[in-house]
Every structure is written in C-alpha cells, then in structure tokens.
Homo-oligomer: A and B are copies of this chain.
Amino acid sequence: MSKIDQIDRNILRTLGGEGRISNLELAERVGLSPSACLRRVQELERIGVIKGYRAVLAPKAMGVGFTAYVTVGLNAHTKASQLAFEQGVARAVEVRECHNITGAWEYLLRIEAADLAAYKRFHTDVLGTLPQVQSITSYVVMGSPKDERA
C-alpha cells in the first residue's frame, strides 16, 4: 500500500473516535469484509499512520482536578539549554504536553495536577528548580468547551 485511499480515511476517522470498535463492526462501517478490513488496519499500524490506541479517562478519576497551560521562557536559547529543559520536563508527570512554539516564549506546557496546592508545589519544586527557566506565566483552565484531543 503506497497511498491512503478513501476507505483508509474512513477507517482512521472511525478509529479516531472509537478506538476499540470490533473489527467486525468496523468492516461493516467501511464496507469491506472483516479480513480485508483487518489487513488494512494492520498495515496502517505497521506504517505508523496508527501510532497506538489510548483509553480516554475522566480526569477526576485519575486524580486530576486542576489543569493549566503554562508559557515558559528560557534564559538562554542554546541547544544545550533547550535539551536540558526538555529532559527536566520529560521527567515531570504533571507535564502532559510540552510544545516548542514561536513568539515571546519558547515553550507551552499543559500541566495536570490534583489541585491548586499540588500545582503550586509543581510550580515551585519542578519549574522553580530548572535553571534554564527565566519566565513563567500560568493560565488556569476553567473549562474546555471543545476538546478533541487524541
């Protein structure tokens, strides 16, 4: 398979929303036999178009009651400084996302913590001890009218 056709796009769209649909049901949805459908899914996984599957969990049940986006500016823009910061962030479980962005700050983080107190501890003991960090601005998430993360 060298290119993704319309059937593949239907498969991907369906799996993007219902990752654990049975192959039988998926085959019916996209109009193939189960074996043909399964082979396509397996190929999409093999070539990396489908990177994996994840359960979508209710945050509260995972102990997450507080979410914030944080912009981070570094005091030095060197490659070493950026790599060191990224390593520090990789170790912090509260950091769910770390994006390298254009603009006045180098990074945008998504932080998930139990509550404000836990966020404060993260802010002080994690971000506050990374020597590369020069500026931090926190934006607390009060709600998410749209959230199609995957």
A87 nearest in chain B by CB position: B145
Number of chain copies forming the complex: 2
Q: Is A139 within 8 A of B55, CB to CB?
A: no
Does chain B have a CB within 8 A of A54?
Answer: yes
Please classify how large the interface on chain A is, using the bins under 10, 10 to 19, 20 to 34, 35 or more.
Answer: 35 or more
| Cβ of A114 under 8 Å from chain B | no
Is A77 interfacial (CB 8 A cutoff)? no
A19 to B86, CA, bound (A): 27
A49 at the interface (CB under 8 A from B): yes
The reply to whether the CB of A119 lies closer than 8 angstroms to some CB of chain B is no
A residues near B, CB below 8 A?
4, 12, 15-20, 48-58, 61-62, 69, 86, 89-90, 95-103, 108, 137-150
